[in-house]
Structure 1
């Protein structure tokens, strides 16, 4: 494992989490969620997605959410932008961090965004050029890095090809998404070994879903490989649309509990995140999916 003991958490709850929840929350509740998360010490909080509300109603009014946040408080609020229309809207309301998303699976790309991988990268080119011209921080997501609901296992070389292309477009960081959560520690180790041969590990982030209960084990392998950026979602918000009833995003509380136990610094207050998770789950009408959140909440009651 690398000797540095600082890990950056990218909080995905307000975007990747909520967009996979059945309930669509008001912009005011989403803004309050982000503010509460910021109060715990989180410095990277994905605030929304500038996509069609017809397809993702949970992300409607992301412009209202982003314009309501304090952009001078030392906190990054990245937003997802699929095209120039989304980029222009995001820029108009103060976006400083934008993200684009591609897939390592050809079938997933065609079914999810109705174009090939190559076509998706070309769509992103003007967005990336505009973001770089504006001095914005640019992040790239790669979906299905270890498994696809249509193709099955994905080869690391396919992930490398897409990741390299996104970096060539100007992405400063590549978030590796195990979208359906089928990855295992062995697959994670193999993937990162292939990527590390050509890409700087300090520019890679781990975005692992917990559909099969493998997320923390996979994150441990990623940490051992030198990855120091982890995506997680408060209370385990979100699900896996390709496995009905299954959990999706790894819970921020679970990740924090593991990192704290390893002596790795995040600057984030675990108890505070537990409180935020309980609060947002009341609005969603469901309990937290995070095991650490449930255990810590139960311990408080028993004490």
Structure 2
């Protein structure tokens, strides 16, 4: 325990989602640009990368090259790659492409579920068992990500019981891990802790992660609250890229470099090199062709003299 009685774990596991969530709203990045970005991310020391999504190329053209990206993953070792899917068909595509660790999105709010996946929450939950069986049969795992876990852009605040019920059903159906998603970046620290506590009560022993967006500037505060509540698996996106194409107003994820910055400075190990993450942000900025939203990327890191840093 430190001087301020701030209880933090000795280490956390950061999953980099910039290749998927970070790019899905961008103009399509050529495969060469994605691979440059991937190489830079692997060099950071990150152990988990959500590398793409097997969804309709018409709905998300930025990720239409999922099979091509998957075909290049053999070049990288000591990194656990996963892919996001929206249905059983996408899960089969991922497994066929060689990615057996899957994330399946279930929206706790019906309206977002219909906008995102074309079906109700209950219909989405009903597919968990089949997708889990497919992943397990291929030697992989299934994590269910509960989108709109706190709030929905159409239905408003998501009742806690609704998210808890989705979690309970997903775990019963075979999910190996759960993740709570603040899809539109509206939650706040106290609400984070309350929902984490309630979800844990119905899924004891099941790994639980969090996925925050920084739409209203509360993303890193929410991450700190989650870590203090005992969560040690956090999603982040290099440069703060990201957003949901089916959630109006959703903006970028919390920035990987900012998360690593405050965790490491607080004595919480991430296994990642901050300078390498900043290099990856510069590579990503070149790949997407626009300035990244991350404040730390613009500032130039911990020791950069004020006003001297220019993004690559």
- Per the TM superposition, whether the score is higher than 0.5 is yes
Q: 2:35 aligns with which of 22, 31, 35?
A: 31
The DSSP-based 3-state class of the residue aligned with 1:276 is helix
Partner in structure 2 of residue 178 of structure 1: 182
Q: Does 1:17 align with 2:4?
A: no
1:202/1:283 CA distance change after superposition, 3 Å: same
What are the within-5 Å matches in structure 2 for residues 75-224 of structure 1?
75-200=79-204, 203-224=207-228
Give TM-score, length-normalised by structure 1: 0.93
- State the Cα distance separating 1:169 from its structure 2 match: 2.3
Unaligned runs of 5+ in 1: none
1:257-272 map, 5 Å: 257-272=261-276
> Match of 2:216, SS?
coil
Matches within 5 A, 1:213-292: 213-239=217-243, 241=245, 242=247, 244=249, 247-292=251-296
Alpha carbon RMSD of aligned pairs, Å?
2.0
**Deviation at 1:11?**
0.3
Give the paired residue count: 301
CA separation in 2, counterparts of 1:172 and 1:2? 27
State whether residues 98 and 136 of structure 1, in contact with CA within 8 Å, keep that contact through their aligned partners in structure 2: yes
**In structure 1, C-alpha distance between the alignment counterparts of 2:169 and 2:132, rounded to whole Å:** 12
Larger helix fraction of residues: 1
TM-score by length of structure 2 reads 0.90
SS of the equivalent of 1:253 reads helix
Q: Contact conserved, 2:14 with 2:46, CA < 8 A, in 1? A: yes
- Secondary structure at the counterpart of residue 239 of structure 2: helix
* Aligned with residue 5 of structure 1, among 5, 10, 14: 10
